[in-house]
A and B are shown apart, each in its own frame.
Chain A
Amino acid sequence: MALRDQIADAAAAAARPILSIHNLSIGYQFGKSVTPVIKDISLEIPKGRIVALVGESGSGKTTLTQSIIGLLPANAKLSSGRILFHDPVKVSPLPVDIASLRERSETLRALRGGRIGMVFQEPAAALSPVYTIGNLLAESLLAHENASKDEVRARSLDILARVGFGNPEQALSQYPFELSGGLRQRAMIAAALICKPALLIADEPTSALDVTVQALTLKLIADLQREMGLSVLLITHDLGVVATVADEVVVLYRGEIMESGSVIELLKDPQHPYLQALLKAGPSMSGLKEARLTPLRPIAPPSELFKGHWTRKHEAAPGAPLVELKSLVKRFVKSSRWGKSADTATGTLAVNHVSLTVRQGECLGLVGESGSGKSTLCRILMQIMQPDQGETWVFDQGALRDVATLDRAGRQRFRQRVQYVFQDPFGSLNPRHTIRTVLNEPFDIHTIGTRQERQEWAAELLEIVGLNRHMLDRYPNTFSGGQRQRIAIARALALKPDLLVCDEPVSALDVSVQAQILNLLQDLKDTFGLTYLFVSHDLGVIRHMADRVAVMCQGRLVEIAPARALFENPWHPYTKALMAAAPEQDPTRKLDLTALSDGRASDPACWDPPYQLLGDAKPRYEEVTPDHFVAIA
Chain B
Amino acid sequence: MLRYVAMRLLWMIPMLLFISALIFAIIQLPPGDYLTTQVFELEQQGQAGAQAKAQFLRKEYNLDRPLHEQYLIWLGLMEGSRGYSGLLQGDWGQSFEFQKPVADIVAHAIGPTIAINALAVLVIYFVAVPLGVLAAVRKNSVIDGTISTLIYVAMAIPGFLLALLLLYYANRVFGLGIGGLMDPQYENAPWSWEKLGSIVSHMIIPVLVIAAGAAAAMTRRMRANLLDELEKPYVAAARARGLSETKVIWKYPVRMAFSPFIADIGDLLPGLVSGSVIVSVVLSLPAVGPILVRALQSQDVYLASFIMLFVAILTVIGMLISDLLLAWLDPRIRLGQGARR
Chain A residues within 8 Å of B, Cβ to Cβ = 69, 71, 104, 109-114, 118, 120-122, 125-132, 139-140, 143-144, 175, 177-178, 181, 188, 191-192, 334, 336-338, 370-371
| A residues near B233, Cβ cutoff 8 Å | 120-122, 125-126
| B residues near A122, Cβ cutoff 8 Å | 233
> Can you name the residue of chain A whose Cβ is closest to the Cβ of B341?
A371
Q: Which of B26-34, B292-300, B332-340 is the contact stretch?
A: B332-340
Specify which of A129, A132, A139, A337 is in contact with B243 (CB 8 Å cutoff): A139
User: Counting CB contacts under 8 A, is B17 at the interface?
Assistant: no
Contact B237 A139 (CB under 8 A): no
Contact A139 B241 (CB under 8 A): yes
Specify which of A112, A125, A175, A338 is in contact with B241 (CB 8 Å cutoff): A112
Specify which of A127, A129, A336 is in contact with B332 (CB 8 Å cutoff): A129
Contact A120 B341 (CB under 8 A): no
Given A125-B233, A130-B331, A175-B332 in contact, is the A118-B338 Cβ separation under 8 Å? no
Say which size band chain B's interface belongs to. Answer: 20 to 34
Closest CB in chain A relative to B135 CB, distance in Å: 16
Contact B331 A110 (CB under 8 A): no
| A residues near B245, Cβ cutoff 8 Å | 104
Contact A112 B240 (CB under 8 A): yes
> Can you name the residue of chain A whose Cβ is closest to the Cβ of B4?
A337
Contact A113 B338 (CB under 8 A): no
Contact B332 A177 (CB under 8 A): yes
| B residues near A338, Cβ cutoff 8 Å | 7
- For the residues of B in contact with A, the DSSP-based class is helix
Closest CB in chain B relative to A269 CB, distance in Å: 36
Contact A130 B330 (CB under 8 A): yes
Contact A120 B255 (CB under 8 A): no
| B residues near A109, Cβ cutoff 8 Å | 242-244
Which 6 pairs from chain A and chain B are nearest by CB?
A113-B242, A113-B241, A118-B240, A112-B242, A126-B237, A125-B233
| B residues near A140, Cβ cutoff 8 Å | 241-242
Q: How far is the CA of A541 from the CA of B233 in the complex (A)?
A: 29
User: Counting CB contacts under 8 A, is B40 at the interface?
Assistant: no
Contact A177 B236 (CB under 8 A): no
Chain B contacts with A in 1-43, Cβ cutoff 8 A: 4, 7
| B residues near A143, Cβ cutoff 8 Å | 241-244
> Can you name the residue of chain B whose Cβ is closest to the Cβ of A114?
B242
> Can you name the residue of chain A whose Cβ is closest to the Cβ of B242?
A113
Closest CB in chain B relative to A350 CB, distance in Å: 11
Contact A177 B241 (CB under 8 A): no
| B residues near A128, Cβ cutoff 8 Å | 234, 238, 252, 255-256
User: Counting CB contacts under 8 A, is B329 at the interface?
Assistant: yes
As a 0/1 sequence over residues 226 to 262 of chain B, the CB contacts with chain A under 8 angstroms (1 = contact) are 0000001110111111111100000110011000000
Q: How far is the CA of A113 from the CA of B7 in the complex (A)?
A: 45
| A residues near B234, Cβ cutoff 8 Å | 125-128
- For the residues of A in contact with B, the DSSP-based class is loop
Closest CB in chain B relative to A140 CB, distance in Å: 5
Contact B336 A337 (CB under 8 A): yes
| A residues near B238, Cβ cutoff 8 Å | 128
| B residues near A113, Cβ cutoff 8 Å | 240-243
Chain B contacts with A in 286-341, Cβ cutoff 8 A: 329-332, 335-338, 340-341
Interchain residue pairs with CB less than 8 A apart (15): A71-B239, A109-B243, A109-B244, A112-B241, A113-B241, A118-B237, A120-B233, A128-B234, A130-B330, A143-B242, A177-B331, A177-B337, A177-B340, A181-B341, A334-B337
Closest CB in chain A relative to B286 CB, distance in Å: 41
Contact B330 A69 (CB under 8 A): no
Between A144, A175, A338, the greatest number of chain B beta carbons within 10 A of the residue's beta carbon is seen for: A175
Closest CB in chain A relative to B313 CB, distance in Å: 23
| B residues near A144, Cβ cutoff 8 Å | 242
Specify which of B4, B7, B329, B336 is in contact with A130 (CB 8 Å cutoff): B329
Specify which of A69, A129, A181, A370 is in contact with B240 (CB 8 Å cutoff): A69
| A residues near B237, Cβ cutoff 8 Å | 118, 120, 126-127, 188
Between A110, A131, A181, the greatest number of chain B beta carbons within 10 A of the residue's beta carbon is seen for: A131
> Can you name the residue of chain B whose Cβ is closest to the Cβ of A136?
B241
Contact B337 A370 (CB under 8 A): no
Contact A112 B239 (CB under 8 A): yes
| B residues near A130, Cβ cutoff 8 Å | 255-256, 329-332
Closest CB in chain A relative to B324 CB, distance in Å: 13
| B residues near A191, Cβ cutoff 8 Å | 241
Closest CB in chain A relative to B144 CB, distance in Å: 13
Q: How far is the CA of A121 from the CA of B240 in the complex (A)?
A: 13
Closest CB in chain B relative to A142 CB, distance in Å: 9
| B residues near A337, Cβ cutoff 8 Å | 4, 336
| B residues near A139, Cβ cutoff 8 Å | 241, 243, 251
| B residues near A126, Cβ cutoff 8 Å | 233-234, 236-237
> Can you name the residue of chain B whose Cβ is closest to the Cβ of A118?
B240
Contact B337 A178 (CB under 8 A): yes
Closest CB in chain B relative to A444 CB, distance in Å: 34
Closest CB in chain B relative to A159 CB, distance in Å: 13
Closest CB in chain B relative to A229 CB, distance in Å: 21
| A residues near B330, Cβ cutoff 8 Å | 129-130
Q: A121-B233, A129-B330 are in contact. List 14 more A-B contacts (CB 8 A).
A: A110-B242, A112-B239, A112-B241, A113-B241, A113-B242, A120-B233, A120-B236, A120-B237, A129-B338, A140-B242, A143-B241, A175-B331, A338-B7, A370-B341
| B residues near A178, Cβ cutoff 8 Å | 335, 337
| B residues near A127, Cβ cutoff 8 Å | 234, 237
